[in-house]
Amino acid sequence: MTTRQLVEAVKTTIADGGSIRPQGGGTKAHFLTMPDHSVVVSTQAHTGIVHYHADELVVRVKAGTLLSELTEILAAKGQYLPAEPPAYGNAATIGGAVAAGLSGHGRPYAGGLRDFVLGLRMILPSGEVASFGGDVMKNVAGYDVSRLQVGAMGSLGLILDIALKVIPKPLKNIVYNIACEREEALRLMQQLGKIIGVSALSYREEKLWVRLSGSAQSCLQGARQLPSDFKEIDAGLPQWEMSQFSGPDHLWRWDGKPSAALVQPGVIGMDWGGALRWLAVGTEGLSGLDRDRVTWVKRGLDPLPKLTTRQDGVGLLQERVKRQLDPNQHFINFPSLRLPE
């Protein structure tokens, strides 16, 4: 599908008075919690690599390209996306990953997805095509509108293609785990986070997982500092899948200091060395949540609680940016993820 066809689709929807919801594979649609009168404009047919210069650590890729396909293309040159954006399904596209702004296990150590976005081309709410940033590593011309799209959930326009910084894969990755309780896991994460070469610390299904990355030598050196009861796991580190979270309760994300006490209700998993905690809490447990640190992830069986966007100074400023960049609300708003105060 060409840029021109996508522009046509956007313009037609605008003319019909619809509110556009750009969508790739739809694997992250459950983050959109608002009542939905929006019209999907799909990027799924807008696929392919625009250019890939492995020697320069830059790839530009069309938004509808499958995340799995991009990962393979990079792997063929020994490179990868260090932010390890989670797919949450085979249909996941790179455009959707960027719009959702999610990062995987490597987030605290290698950086978040926004750290690797160099530029992008998009269809603005006016229906015009614009390009921000570029294909180069360093670029401070104009405001950083391309990084502003990371996590915007398509609220500021439809992403057409994205230039990303890529990195050579670590020479070696070794994964270990140990069975332990949550409290013990959090304590160990604080301690192990200091080891040079640690590239993931994740807790799930009553196991703490540790990944070491780097040269063979540095992995070895790191492994020597692990308590002796950690087991090496050949299969590597499993990704989080949304299907794992399929209980009756709603799923929430707690985000904060990794060292924060484990007082959140319903912690069923942790990542990012303790800075990210997944909470499965029923409606009755919601009152115990820290409203500043907790955001919506996925619906359970209970009725949906009423959610809002941030209402503090940051929230108001975000809303002003949205209003200026999309004055006629041609695109959906970014999602309301918070419990009201």
- Binding-site member from 45, 136, 301, 304 for another protein (CB under 8 A): 136
By CB under 8 A, residue 244 contacts another protein: no
What residues form DSSP beta bridges with 6? none
Contact between 139 and another protein per CB under 8 A: yes
Minimum distance from residue 137 beta carbon to another protein (Å): 4
Q: How far apart are CA 252 and CA 255, in angstroms?
A: 10
- Does position 232 bind another protein by CB under 8 A? no
Report the residue from 1, 69, 144, 245 that binds another protein according to the rule CB under 8 A.
Answer: 144
Residue from 89, 134, 238, 285 touching another protein (CB under 8 A): that is: 134
By CB under 8 A, tell whether 152 contacts another protein.
yes
Contact string (CB under 8 A) for another protein, positions 153-172, x = contact: --xx----------xxx-x-
The yes or no reply on residue 54 touching another protein (CB under 8 A) is yes
Closest CA to 233 of 196, 207, 215: 207
Helix (H, G, I), strand (E, B) or coil at 81: coil
Using CB under 8 A as the binding rule, whether residue 325 contacts another protein is answered as yes
Please report, for residues 40, 84, 253, 283, 288, the alpha-carbon distance to residue 279 in angstroms, rounded to integers and kept in the order given: 30, 22, 6, 12, 12
Which pair of structure tokens corresponds to residue 100? 């959702």
Residue 283 neighbours by CB under 8 Å, 6+ apart: 250, 302, 303, 305
Return the residues of window 272-311 that contact another protein according to CB under 8 A. Answer: 272, 275-276, 293, 295, 309-310
Q: Contact, 152 vs 334, CB < 8 A?
A: yes
Min dist CB 138 to another protein, Å, is 4
Residue 55 binds another protein (CB under 8 A)? yes
Residue 314 in contact with another protein, rule: CB under 8 A: yes
Note whether 132 binds another protein by CB under 8 A.
yes
For position 8 contacting another protein by CB under 8 A, the verdict is no
Per CB under 8 A, which of residues 170..229 are in contact with another protein?
171, 190, 194, 196-197, 214-215, 217-218, 221
Cα separation of 21 and 268, whole Å? 31
| Count of residues that interact with another protein, criterion CB under 8 A | 81
DSSP 13-52: HHHTT--EEEESSSTTGGG--S----EEEE-TT--SEEEE
Q: How far is the CB of 179 from another protein (least distance, A)?
A: 26
- Taking the complex as a whole, the smallest distance from the CB of residue 305 to another protein amounts, in Å, to 17
Residue 140 touching another protein (CB under 8 A): yes
Report helix, strand or coil for 94. helix
Residues 84-123, interacting with another protein (CB under 8 A): 101, 103, 107-108, 111-112, 114-115
Picking from 157, 66, 152, the residue whose alpha carbon sits closest to that of residue 113 is: 152
* Residue closer to another protein, measured from CB, 205 or 290: 290
C-beta separation of 182 from 262 below 8 A: yes
- Report how far apart the first and last C-alpha atoms of the chain are (Å, whole number): 44
